[in-house]
């Protein structure tokens, strides 16, 4: 089944690439824009990290829906992708997220991504293909990944706040406290914007 005339993998990968460009100052400084990402053809999208994540997650979801165990599904995926490269770091019982991180290290050695972007892709693809048995909505998958990224960032700041407080590092504690507060306010603002967008979309359907 295709979305807007292209496969689900390519549609999701394109949306994830657009998110990468939005959050990567290096890409923007190099002149690569979200409009350019929207105009890439399917073959160009297929060569991206985002497409690799989406492909693995779609295949994993399909195999497990047909009765394969998670470990067997990852073994079968690895047997197929081994031709691209492999290492001794493959552990089929580690789960899909760790498997994707392993494949990223094998297939994209030295590639630089914005902090947290690979996990963002994993969250979105997992929601899109696995949680809803391949019937997910693209926008919902991106919103879900954004929520998880926001939560991960806030948890990171709070964890470091605890360390700074324990070590009596007042300067770091005050800085991290400000960052956590700013991030919480940003997340609240973004949530309000997303809610408004969803409301407008629902009203247009009426």
* Cβ-contact 111, 104 below 8 angstroms: yes
Residue 174 pLDDT greater than 80, yes or no: no
* Token pair recorded at residue 87: 């290492």
Of how many residues is the chain composed?
206
Which one is predicted more confidently, 183 or 203? Answer: 183
Q: What is the pLDDT of residue 136?
A: 56
pLDDT-above-90 percentage for the chain: 46
Q: Which residues contact 62 (CB under 8 A, 6 or more apart)?
A: 134
Mean pLDDT of the chain: 82
DSSP 63-116: HHHTT--HHHHHHHHHHHHTTT---TT--GGG-HHHHHHHHHHHHSTT----TT
Q: Is the pLDDT of residue 43 over 50?
A: yes
Q: How confident is the model at residue 4 (pLDDT cuts 50, 70, 90)?
A: very low
Residue 154: the pLDDT is 65
What pLDDT score does 148 carry? 80
Q: CA-CA distance, 117 to 184, in Å (whole number)?
A: 19
| In the predicted structure, residue 5 carries a pLDDT above the cut 90 | no
Question: What is the band of 200 on the pLDDT scale with cuts at 50, 70, 90?
Answer: low
pLDDT at position 195 over 60: no
Rounded mean pLDDT, 28-55:
93
Mean pLDDT of 16-30: 86
Residue 7's H or E segment, with its range, is: strand 6-7
What whole-number distance in Å separates Cα of residue 17 and Cα of residue 39? Answer: 12
């Amino acid at each position: 089944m295709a979305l807007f005339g292209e496969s689900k993998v390519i549609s999701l990968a394109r949306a994830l690439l657009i998110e990468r460009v939005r959050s990567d100052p290096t890409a923007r400084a190099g002149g690569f824009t979200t409009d350019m990402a929207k105009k890439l053809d399917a073959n160009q999208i297929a060569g991206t990290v985002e497409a690799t994540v989406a492909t693995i997650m779609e295949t994993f979801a399909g195999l497990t829906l047909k009765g394969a165990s998670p470990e067997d599904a990852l073994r079968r995926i690895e047997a197929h992708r081994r031709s691209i490269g492999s290492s001794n770091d493959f552990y089929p019982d580690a789960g899909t997220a760790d498997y994707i991180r392993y494949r990223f290290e094998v297939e994209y050695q030295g590639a630089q991504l914005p902090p947290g972007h690979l996990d963002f892709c994993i969250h979105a693809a997992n929601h899109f293909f696995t949680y809803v048995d391949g019937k997910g909505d693209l926008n919902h998958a991106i919103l879900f990944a954004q929520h998880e990224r926001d939560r991960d960032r806030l948890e990171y700041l709070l964890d470091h706040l605890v360390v700074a407080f324990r070590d009596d590092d007042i300067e770091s504690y005050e800085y991290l406290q400000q960052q956590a507060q700013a991030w919480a306010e940003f997340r609240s603002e973004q949530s309000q914007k997303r809610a408004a967008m969803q409301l407008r979309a629902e009203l247009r359907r009426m």
